[in-house]
Structures are given as structure tokens and as C-alpha cells.
Amino acid sequence: MTESISPKRIDHIGIAVRSLEQSVPLYRDVLGLKFLGYETVESEQVRVAFMEIGESRIELLEPLSPDSPIAGYMEKKGEGIHHIALRVDGIEQELDRLSASGFRLIHERPKVGAHGSRVAFVHPKSTLGVLYELCQPED
């Protein structure tokens, strides 16, 4: 039996959007979520906006270029939920355990994501079609 990872909570849900300027007002003004700000994540070729909801966040992802992973995703599936991020401690150990259990990883080692967090993605072919991000906030 596969050992489970030890998520602390849902850190955020990533939603692919064509335009942050058009999307942020929906989440902030209509849905009433607290707007936390914009950030550019060069490693993923996206500009993001974070919205707070309880102890979790919504991450809106706008592609910076037509060849970014988010642009490719939207070309195939359109705008919508892209990933669910699980907050973990010891991200390297979690990745090692998943790999040893036969899970397909998009990132074998964490890289720097938004807010300086260390992040890595688990391939959706290993998780019933859902793209999961493991995320460990900067200490």
C-alpha cells in the first residue's frame, strides 16, 4: 500500500485565465474575495493574482507568452481550474516518497514558485486526472 503524503491544507486552487484585468473584478468585486496582489512567476511564464478565501487562496494564472504551459493548457481546455496546491512540510521527502511509490512527477525536485515557495507538480496521469502541486512556503 502506498504511504500517503501529509498535506497541511489546501494552499490554493490555480485557475487559468486569459486576462487578469478582466478576471480579478469577478473574484474581488462580485464574489467578495480579498485581493492580495499580483506577481510574475518567470519560471512558469505566468503573471498571477492571489485572492484570499478563509485560510486558502485562489491563484489566477495569466500566460506571459503563447508558449507558456498555461497558454498550452488553455488552448486545449480553455479557461478554468488548472491545479490544486497542497501545502506540505518536507517537500523533498514527499517527492521521494511519491516517486518511490510509482507516481509520475513533473518535477523531481522543487523549484521556486510564487511568494518564494518551493513547488513541484505531480502528473495528472498518476492522480486520476487532477494536477496537484506540492507547495512548501518560504520559511
Spans in the chain with pLDDT lower than 70: 1-4
Give the per-residue pLDDT at 2.
Answer: 54
CA distance 84 to 124: 11
Please state whether the predicted TM-score (pTM) of the whole model is above 0.85.
yes
Assess contact for 45 and 64: CB atoms under 8 A. Answer: yes
Give the per-residue pLDDT at 1.
Answer: 43
